[in-house]
Structure 1
């Protein structure tokens, strides 16, 4: 069972988030709740949560400050930020925290589920001692260095170029173990600013888009009858074929073998 801490000063938001997670993940998750950053830190010390979903704007201790303390307590904890701040200016301090993703409130259910699926996977890997290559130390040699240009260069042409660059990166790397931070670093942006750009370009977050991109590639590969599910899983970036099958079914409504069979029946 994966231990999850949800911290948000809005009780209705916390309850709604819990219901959505329980709907999709059932008894896989053990969820505890905090109503401010200080309580979140104390709960984390007691519960040793593996995943933390943290609202940025909270009283007593804001989400970034609380996450900084949590990161010092546990290097491998998976942190997801919730923010209502579309400009992400408040999130710049979160760079060294190495959050998995930023979800803009109110977040779409598909985005939430996609990010949580990845968080659960990473929490499982960390428990097995296998995430050394994923959570990179935030040092000057690999830290993202550019927060972006002023909203004066934000014309349609520039956004088109940014979107094309992001798509090119995804097409060349979707089969690898990549994260939002890897993409931001490759394009020389800070995590928070990259999240903002990605949302503007694609109207969803990076993890959700990458998941759907991989599933579309998987559907294409599954049309080859000679390829087994394990091979397809590896070719679209999933080392665990069972996890791949679970994500594939959530998005398509069928397990990979059923989808492949349906394609041959149609032909």
Structure 2
């Protein structure tokens, strides 16, 4: 919701503005003030995005009020309401931080244009923030330390640029990011010694927030460095046993990853790193080893061997076998038979020394 403050001593003018805002979706008038003193109290306790300020508001210097509002909420859009003949003062107010102005009597279309313009800009900022969060989480998931640190700093800056004084919103966003980080750690087989959460709620500035945020990310990478080896070894051992038990059934990377409670992406990367072969090729190689064994030791037709290894198409099985072995299954079996016959023949004609006689 886009929150709006109205500061004007002309009641009719404020009522007219409220009628216009009722026609704009996602906007709400959250406060009204008819004097500078009332405006200061309103500013101190309200969470707002845009202020319509009468340039002749009684009880306070308008320039001071503009500076005060911008100091408390730099992203606040201040729209000055003025009469003809006040241009010099308006320009000075714009230099001091006001964002735009409207001449009385203002037109509804001019107000709609201003509000929609700023709504669009702020929406664009939110989209950029979402993209930054996605990129940051992607870098952490890939265990890319340098880019994770860079994006953590960028993310901190964007959060405070958009929600400068809205500490509740920053706190909610930080908790959401921590939840996503915790999920990534779990998927990557990383178990921290503590629950990853944003447990400290204080109204800190951007530097304080950034330091705390980066310290948490540093802890994640420190845990990655310190605990990966043992967990990786156990995971790979478990996966290899799972493959040996199931490779003839048409095993998949997803099924193996689920078996060891890892994400398919992480298991694929870990498998390649530890065995210097990707998961799919390793399973295919084990199938071909089994196929060679069956071709060597049984009289099973090639089609039956293909089905035994969960290949539904014998031609595809033969193609994979030839790529791995260099021969088709039939050629391989023929070669094995020829080698066996040659070996038997060599055994029958081998001379054996028996005393003084050769047999």
**TM-score, scaled relative to structure 1:** 0.44
Query: Looking at both structures, which has the greater relative contact order when contacts are Cα pairs under 8 Å and sequence separation is at least 6?
Result: 1
Structure (1 or 2) with the larger CA radius of gyration: 2
